[in-house]
Amino acid sequence: MMSLDGKVVMVTGGGGNLGRGVAAVFSGYGARLALVDLQADRVNQIAAALPGGVESHAGFGGDLSTPEGVQAVIDAVLSRFGRIDALVHTVGGFSAGNPVHQESLDVLDGMINLNVRPLYLVGGAVARHMLDRGEGGSIVFILARAGLKGAKNMAAYTASKAAATRVMESMAAELKEFNIHVNGVSPSTIDTPANRESMPNADPGKWVTAAQVAEVCAFLCGGDTGVYGANLEVFGKS
């Protein structure tokens, strides 16, 4: 049976639309949340507004693009909560571009640095903590539908999401014998204000909501599911 009651869950990108959705769903299941974002003020406000407030949840600011920045965040979370039972990594972004034969390396470097590098660093650091504790845990990476297949003018983005998926699968193979569940969730378009603004002619009714994605993450973090290395697709009606 799924249970998050009392579990300490670290949520990266906690100030974003999906991060806030994860925070709302997980706090409803009784989790204690360490919300991480570049700016601590934003996630501190989110933490304070959740059920249980700052007694149960906390915000942390930090740069997740360097090993030193990631370790500083991990140390701060451990100082506050003493452990990390689960990680939900929502950090990522999208940038379309030109055909590969017309594109500079800037778009590719940007997508790798946003969608792969932090995932690799944060996932590895949390895994080391879980191995040191020896009590297992859950790691969930937010991937993307686009990582399953290439698309016109999206080579950099689709390649970065495919690379993130391979990292997830590799970590799952490395850690399952230690009862650390590593899995991914691949949404299609998520219904956010930004997506509605950028795609005014689309039908948001066919998109998925942040809460729907968060519920799948909660399932993967909520107990000994026996699921390792899965990439659960949350595509809604699209």
Residue 128, pLDDT score: 98
Q: Determine the average pLDDT of the residues in 196-220.
A: 91
Report d(CA 18, CA 24) in Å as an integer. Answer: 10
Question: Average model confidence (pLDDT) for the chain?
Answer: 94
* Strands 231-234 vs 180-187: parallel, antiparallel or unpaired: parallel
- Looking at domain 8-232, its CATH class is alpha beta
Task: List, in order, residues 6 or more apart from 117 with CB less than 8 Å away.
Answer: 65
Q: How many CB atoms lie within 10 A of CB 117?
A: 18
**Considering the entire predicted model, what is its pTM?**
0.95
Mean pLDDT calculated for residue range 158-169? 97
pLDDT over 90 at 69, yes or no: yes
Q: b/e for 137-170, b at 16 or more Cβ within 10 A? A: bbbbbbbbbbbeeeeeebbbbbbbbbbbbebbbe
Phi and psi dihedrals of 81, rounded to 5?
A: -110, -20
Instruction: Reply yes or no on whether the pLDDT at 1 is more than 80.
Output: no
Structural domain spans, the chain: 8-232
The H-or-E segment that residue 88 falls in is strand 86-89
CA dist., res. 114 & res. 103, Å (int)? 18
Question: By CB neighbour count within 10 A (0-12 exposed, 13-18 middle, 19+ buried), where does 46 fall?
Answer: buried
